[in-house]
A = this chain, B = another copy of it.
Amino acid sequence: MTPGLSRNDMIEYGSDIVIYIDRRRRRLLRIAGGKIFSSDRGTLKLDDIVGLHYGDRVRTSLNINAWLLRPLLIDYLELGIKRVTQIIYPKDLGLILILLGVAPGLKVLEIGVGTGNTTIVLANFVKPNGHVYGYELRKEFLMIAQHNLEMTNLQQYVTLKLRDAREGIDESGIDAAVVDIPDPWNVLDPLHTALKHSAPVVFFLPTMNQIIRLFDALNKHRGFIDIRCYETLLREMELSPESIRPSTIMVGHTGYILYARKVFKDSDTKA
């Protein structure tokens, strides 16, 4: 079932579920007959869970508490989907959503789908009447992306294309775009054509060298303004009754978020 789609509170065969024992012991599963959840804190027969409700607590075979949770978007991102490529993390995706003003009904372009992590988030926020168009060169990634979309039941909001966006983009009137490829400077012309006038784009860039090169290319292109670049850092706190502190180890870098908005170029301005 899709994140947020199923409004049914009862757990059935075919339901997705998060079994939560503690922060380190949580798993996202689809309920099927005969299936067993097993951990070092005991096992659960999934057949026994059918008919219970999201939010219920059960006991494992070792008499340890386990809670039955409805999977949310964040659970699919953290526990559910297959990753092969480097993904854009929730800390960055959240800011990207706000910067792009992604909203139900929008047509969003994604250049560099990878295995579909970002695609799922975009689809979740443009549904039910918007659409995501995703370009990806590598067939093996696209197949995983398709699998991930089906698992989250978002495939009807997405069109995936095994295509090189640098050679042209079919769509036009795009409301917002996310570009996550190593050489975004090579896609500026087709991107500019595909975007609606005044529409925003976010480029995701792991290295400083890419910022410098893309910023230079955007300046020369002259069809993008309001160019900004951000970086986000996420710290998690470790919570225990007498000791609350930031975690010792954190993700120190994922990528830079470079934002810009399309305007008419001198050559195509009518004003």
- Chain A interface residue count, CB cutoff 8 Å, equals 92
Query: Taking A216-B241, A227-B239, A237-B256 as contacts, is the C-beta distance between A95 and B91 under 8 angstroms?
Result: yes
Expressed in whole angstroms, the Cα–Cα distance for A251 and B97 within the complex equals: 20
**A233→B235 contact, CB < 8 A:** yes
Q: Which of B90, B93, B239 contacts A215 (CB 8 A)?
A: B239
Report A5 CB to chain B, min CB distance, Å. Answer: 8
Say yes or no: is A232 at the interface (Cβ < 8 Å to chain B): yes
Q: Which of A37-45, A102-110, A163-171 contacts B (4 or more CB under 8 A)?
A: A102-110
Say yes or no: is A131 at the interface (Cβ < 8 Å to chain B): no
Q: Interface code A202-240, partner B: CB below 8 Å = 1, 0 otherwise?
A: 000011110110011001000001111111111111010
Q: Which of B200, B242, B250 contacts A72 (CB 8 A)?
A: B200
Query: What residue in chain B is nearest A72 (Cβ atoms)?
Result: B101
Say yes or no: is A253 at the interface (Cβ < 8 Å to chain B): yes
**A226→B3 contact, CB < 8 A:** no
Number of copies: 4
Q: Interface code A1-32, partner B: CB below 8 Å = 1, 0 otherwise?
A: 00110000100000000001001001000000
Report A15 CB to chain B, min CB distance, Å. Answer: 12
Q: Which of A54-62, A134-142, A143-151 contacts B (4 or more CB under 8 A)?
A: A54-62
Say yes or no: is A124 at the interface (Cβ < 8 Å to chain B): yes
Q: Interface code A96-123, partner B: CB below 8 Å = 1, 0 otherwise?
A: 1111110111100000000000000100
Q: Which of B52, B73, B235 contacts A101 (CB 8 A)?
A: B73
Query: What residue in chain B is nearest A206 (Cβ atoms)?
Result: B245
Chain B residues, CB < 8 A from A251: 248-250
Chain B residues, CB < 8 A from A252: 235-236, 246-250, 252
Query: What residue in chain B is nearest A256 (Cβ atoms)?
Result: B237
Give residues of chain A (53-87) contacting chain B, Cβ–Cβ below 8 Å: 53-58, 67-70, 72-74, 77
Chain B residues, CB < 8 A from A270: 53, 56
Q: Please name 17 pairs of A and B residues whose Cβ atoms are closer than 8 Å in the assembled complex, sorted by A.
A: A54-B197, A56-B270, A56-B271, A57-B271, A73-B101, A91-B95, A94-B95, A103-B127, A206-B243, A208-B208, A208-B244, A209-B212, A228-B239, A230-B235, A232-B234, A235-B253, A250-B250
